[in-house]
Amino acid sequence: MSTNSYLKAGINLKAAETFVSGISQIAKNTFNENVIGGIGGFAGLFRLPANYRKPVLVACTDGVGSKLKLAYQNNYFDFIGQDLVAMCVNDLLCAGAKPLFFLDYLATEKLDPEKALIIADSIAKACKLCNMPLLGGETAELPGMLPEKGYELAGFSVGIVEEDLILNPLNCTEKDVLIGLPSSGVHSNGYSLIRSVLENNKNLDLKKVYNQYALENSLLEEIMKPTKIYHSIVQDILSKVKAMAHITGGGLPENLPRAFNKKNLKAIIQKDSWDILPIFKFLQSEGNIDPAEMLKVFNLGLGLVLIVSPENKADVFATLDSFNEKYFEIGYLEHKITEKEPDLLFI
């Protein structure tokens, strides 16, 4: 009579050992002088930088959402880690924080060490873009809880900022300028709608380049472009910025008002002031999506919006120019006469 075992229950300990061995070296390559010890303990240790007067820690967590389903359906994992890191780091930036370290959580129905290491490597590469160690993480094999070959991915990041330099929406005032930084594509929001468009239109071919929409790559490559990380772009202009909005799920209408006092202020947005990327025109047309719905779901080509006083606008533009970073002046803040006025007004 054969006995029961963990392997028969769906857990492959040898595969887990292979993965841990591989990720240890991947993570080690991201370490800096503040990391104490290494991968393998029960927790990661990080020495706080010494050159802060009144340091405040900033923490956030996020995931990749159902973009991950398209990744494993199409075996397209090379950049999914950047999505994970970017969603967290871009949120940290909105507090004026510098990223300190990152942790990840990877759950899978059945661990494939090769694919899991591709994901881990993409996370590490994105961490290195921010000089941020991949301090640790957790990998779980969950047979019966996730679909076959399915994955779930979550990230956790901690940053640091001087208490008197925290970006505060309450500092925004009337006539402040709104500067939009372009997104790289869809980023990591709205993929339930994208998958619906793909499922309802069987004629769409993920391998095809749709030149009629000015797409430069295959449809799969366009919708899977990694989320842009804005860390290196904004570090040198944080002192000139009052507040920032990371444009994620909910688009401009939901995210921009989080960056200013919407009880007293509203954003006046010029409709044609930025470039809407071709992928969004493709999705709207092929998916027969109402323009108002597009605005609520997607970033529509704007990944980050800076709120800057008029006197600092020229300095911010000059710094962005030095990075060869494209930008758009999309509007300004205006005083509300009553709280019942809309938070955003498109003109």
Mean pLDDT across the stretch 23-50? 82
146 with 251, same domain: the answer is: no
CA 232 to chain centre: 14
Model confidence band, residue 97 (pLDDT cutoffs 50, 70, 90): very high
Eight-class DSSP state of 151: E
How far apart CA 16 and CA 37 sit, in angstroms, is 21
Say yes or no to pLDDT of 131 above 70.
Answer: yes
Predicted pLDDT of residue 7: 56
Say yes or no to pLDDT of 79 above 50.
Answer: yes
Domain termination site, one of 165, 194, 227: 165
246 with 135, same domain: the answer is: no
Would you say residue 198 lies in a domain?
yes
Q: Output phi, psi for 296, to 5 deg.
A: -80, -25
Number of domains in the chain: 2
161 with 179, same domain: the answer is: no
Spatial strand order of the sheet with 55-63 comes to: 55-63, 151-162, 98-108, 134-141
Mean pLDDT across the stretch 213-217? 94
209 with 289, same domain: the answer is: yes
- Provide the CATH number for the domain around residue 335: 3.90.650.10
Would you say residue 8 lies in a domain?
no
In which residue are the tokens 């009629």 written?
A: 212
178 with 132, same domain: the answer is: no
42 with 83, same domain: the answer is: yes
Predicted pLDDT of residue 91: 97
* Average pLDDT of the chain, as a whole number: 90
196 with 272, same domain: the answer is: yes
Please give the full DSSP string across 110-139, using - where no structure is assigned.
Answer: S--HHHHHHHHHHHHHHHHHTT--EEEEEE
Mean pLDDT across the stretch 18-26? 71
User: Treating both helix axes as pointing N-terminal to C-terminal, what angle do 113-129 and 13-28 enclose, rounded to 10 degrees?
Assistant: 20
Mean pLDDT across the stretch 10-39? 72
How far apart CA 344 and CA 98 sit, in angstroms, is 29
Question: Closest Cα partner for 248 from 68, 82, 72, 86?
Answer: 86
289 with 277, same domain: the answer is: yes
Mean pLDDT across the stretch 159-169? 95
User: What are the residues whose beta carbons fall under 8 Å from the beta carbon of 108, sequence distance 6 or more?
Assistant: 116, 139, 140, 141, 142, 146, 150, 151, 152
User: pLDDT tens digit string along 216-271?
Assistant: 999 999 999 999 999 999 988 999 999 999 999 999 999 999 999 989 999 999 99
Residue 75, sorted as left (phi over 0), alpha (psi -120 to 50) or beta, turns out to be left
The SS3 assignment for 164 reads helix
| Domain carrying residue 107 | 13-165
- Provide the CATH number for the domain around residue 130: 3.30.1330.10
The SS3 assignment for 173 reads coil
pTM confidence score: 0.91
Model confidence band, residue 8 (pLDDT cutoffs 50, 70, 90): very low
User: What are the residues whose beta carbons fall under 8 Å from the beta carbon of 170, sequence distance 6 or more?
Assistant: 261
Would you say residue 3 lies in a domain?
no
263 with 189, same domain: the answer is: yes
Contact 289, 196 (CB under 8 A): no
| pLDDT above 90 coverage of the chain, percent | 71
Domain termination site, one of 114, 133, 165: 165
Would you say residue 246 lies in a domain?
yes
How far apart CA 32 and CA 124 sit, in angstroms, is 13
| Residue 8, both tokens | 């028969």
Q: What is the CA radius of gyration of the chain?
A: 22
Mean pLDDT across the stretch 58-62? 96
Mean pLDDT across the stretch 47-68? 93
Q: Output phi, psi for 227, to 5 deg.
A: -60, 135
